[in-house]
Amino acid sequence: MNALPSMTVFAPILLLAVAAIAASRPNNRPGLLPRWAEVAALASLGLAIFGVGQLLVQGAKTLSFGSGAGLFAFRLDAITSTMTLLVSFVGWVVVRYARSYLDGEAREGAFHGLLLATLAAVLVLVQAGSFGVLALAFVAVGLGLRQLLLFYPDRAEARRAATKFTLVWGAGDAALILAAGLFWAAFGTTDLVAVGAAAQNGLPLAGSVAVALVVLAAVLKTATFPLHGWLTEVMEAPTPVSALLHAGIINGGGLLLIRLAEVVQASPGAMAALVMLGGFTALFGATVMLTQSAVKTALAWSTVAQMGFMLLQCGLGLWPLALLHIVAHSLYKAHAFLSSGTAVRAVAAIRRPGPVAAPGLGAVAKAFAVALVLYAAVAIGFAAIAGPKSAQAVALGAILVFGVAYLVAQGLADAAPKALTQRTALASLGAAVAYFSFQLIAGVLWGASLPTPPAPDALEWGLIVLAILSFGLVAVAQALFPLWAHHPAAAGLRVHLANGLYLNAVLDRLIGGFRASRSL
């Protein structure tokens, strides 16, 4: 057993202790439990901050128990300390919000106990240093989230969502456990750092199959197309559960890939699969999101799209940016869910704007040209200062600028005022500067702990070009949508997209989801 690496390993124990008190209370009467839960979550945040200080002073370390296939290890490095701090902060915010949201509920005490136990499992997950801890934590997270989804067991939709989640999440657990066994057979260790180092010398057959299983586990746990439906149906659970899921738990698949970045990057097939699955999921989720009228459902589809984009970043080898994406998305989505009710009232109170300027084909073409020229200028400037960027990083930035080009198109429409034109052009410039600035920050924070992007081969170049063209075409179609929105075919397409092309209904039939909604 090595020296204790971080006080953060005690955070899950603290949360579980309060959760045990909740479970032992007769009739689930809350009493002071909600306040204890908030104090425990705040204390966990304090331990996470203390852990960051330990990392800066002591450097990366591992606390391990056992050996061989029975190794249980907890890791302290830049990745785990970042994720521990993020989970602790979001967890404290969610627990604090839950005090008011569930005040007076008959099973309020039970909810806080389940919430703390699930949060403890997530904290164990992000600190995992071996496959044993990683697999057990994923299983525990799944069990805790299922109980939270069933907090209102009389709701048929909640039962169906919980059943679907359990099947998809459990399949991911099975894939990860099989991968752990194959890694043990290939390299003789289950330590995550040791496996990553061994993979640098090449992957044997068992190792290649194990990487494929890791990718499968990651895509199942990030609600990737076509098994994304469970994520869009969890709104029957209390809002704090949705916030914890969309801002924290859904990132587990991405963390798995980042934690095993060296191993995944050693398999070109795995990287290509992530680019294709992630890119398509991002486009699909974003398109469906635009057709949703309910705030929380739109946020759920936004999460599907964001997780797909994060997988795309992993497939391109942009690991620090993928981790930055997780952090930014978690903070944004937690705020979005917890403030969704206030947002609805605020939007309803806003005076409706006048007609929106609809850009024509010429304005859209000029908008994309302006956005790309500004992006190229900023890229050249940053390259002169900080050195050239990888082809993958430049391509990803171009994809992000396509989204800004949509705004620029509004400013270049014939009916648009000059002030709007100037503001949208500045938005494009600001997005390009922000992208490269955040890329530099991510490299400083996590670059030393993660591999650099591989030199693109023919397959990688083909996928990069395909991704740029796909996102560009979708952005152009969105900018031109006002010109053909009233066509009968557009109305029919909108209905099909609003229902997610009915893939979720197909999955329901395949797994008996409709029958599951009538019984636990």
In a domain, 142, yes or no: no
In a domain, 347, yes or no: no
In a domain, 519, yes or no: no
Report the distance separating Cα 172 and Cα 216, nearest Å. 7
Residues of the chain with pLDDT under 50: 1-4, 514, 516-517, 519-520
Q: Report which of 157, 34, 8 is spatially closest to residue 89, judged by C-alpha positions.
A: 8
Task: Tell me: do 203 and 80 sit in the same domain.
Answer: no
> Do 218 and 256 form a contact (C-beta atoms < 8 A)?
yes
User: What tokens does 159 get?
Assistant: 């039962």
> Do 277 and 212 form a contact (C-beta atoms < 8 A)?
no
Report the distance separating Cα 67 and Cα 27, nearest Å. 43
Task: Tell me: do 328 and 370 sit in the same domain.
Answer: no
Task: Tell me: do 162 and 226 sit in the same domain.
Answer: yes
pLDDT, position 520:
47
In a domain, 190, yes or no: yes
How far is residue 155 from each of residues 33, 120, 242, 245, measured CA to CA in Å? 26, 27, 16, 19
Task: Tell me: do 66 and 205 sit in the same domain.
Answer: no
pLDDT, position 511:
65
Contacting residues for 239 by C-beta, under 8 A, at least 6 apart: 97, 101, 337, 338, 340, 341
Q: Give the count of domains, the chain.
A: 3
> Do 508 and 160 form a contact (C-beta atoms < 8 A)?
yes
Count of other CB atoms within 10 angstroms of residue 442: 20
Q: DSSP of 134-196, one letter per residue?
A: HHHHHHHHHHHHHHHHTSSTT-HHHHHHHHHHHHHHHHHHHHHHHHHHHHHHHHS--BHHHHH
Please report, rounded to a whole number, the percentage of residues in the chain having pLDDT higher than 90. Answer: 35
Report the distance separating Cα 137 and Cα 123, nearest Å. 9
Report field, pTM of the whole predicted structure over 0.85: yes
Backbone angles phi, psi at 107, to 5 degrees: -115, 40
Report the distance separating Cα 140 and Cα 132, nearest Å. 12
Task: Tell me: do 125 and 177 sit in the same domain.
Answer: no
pLDDT, position 1:
42
Structural domain ending residue among the three candidates 273, 306, 339 = 339
Report the distance separating Cα 40 and Cα 402, nearest Å. 44
Report the distance separating Cα 159 and Cα 387, nearest Å. 53
Q: What is the distance, to the nearest Å, from the Cα of residue 258 to the centroid of all Cα atoms in its chain?
A: 12
pLDDT, position 312:
94
Task: Tell me: do 8 and 76 sit in the same domain.
Answer: yes
User: What tokens does 372 get?
Assistant: 């790309």
Q: Report which of 62, 480, 151 is spatially closest to residue 159, judged by C-alpha positions.
A: 151
In a domain, 138, yes or no: no
Task: Tell me: do 331 and 372 sit in the same domain.
Answer: no
Task: Tell me: do 24 and 93 sit in the same domain.
Answer: yes
Task: Tell me: do 180 and 273 sit in the same domain.
Answer: yes
In a domain, 67, yes or no: yes
Report the distance separating Cα 86 and Cα 329, nearest Å. 11
Report the distance separating Cα 266 and Cα 182, nearest Å. 16
- Decide: helix, strand or coil at residue 76: strand
Task: Tell me: do 39 and 122 sit in the same domain.
Answer: yes
pLDDT, position 133:
93
In a domain, 69, yes or no: yes
State the residue for tokens 């069990």. 143
Q: What's the burial of 455, exposed, middle or buried (CB within 10 Å: 0-12/13-18/19+)? A: exposed
Report the distance separating Cα 116 and Cα 354, nearest Å. 47
Structural domain ending residue among the three candidates 310, 339, 368 = 339
Question: What is the per-residue burial (b if ≥16 Cβ within 10 Å, else e) of 262-284?
Answer: bbbbbbeebbebbbbbbbbbbbb
Question: What DSSP element (H or E) covers 72?
Answer: strand 72-76
User: What tokens does 274 get?
Assistant: 């992530």
Directed axis angle between helix 268-289 and helix 295-315, to 10°? 160
User: Could you give the angle at the alpha carbon of 198 between the alpha carbons of 192 and 199, nearest 5°?
Assistant: 90
- Whether the link from the prior residue into 226 is cis, omega within 30° of 0, is yes
Size of the chain in residues: 520
Question: What DSSP element (H or E) covers 217?
Answer: helix 205-221
Task: Tell me: do 16 and 97 sit in the same domain.
Answer: yes
Structural domain ending residue among the three candidates 307, 339, 371 = 339
Task: Tell me: do 273 and 325 sit in the same domain.
Answer: yes
Count of other CB atoms within 10 angstroms of residue 21: 19
In a domain, 109, yes or no: yes
Tell me which residue range forms the domain holding 27: 1-129
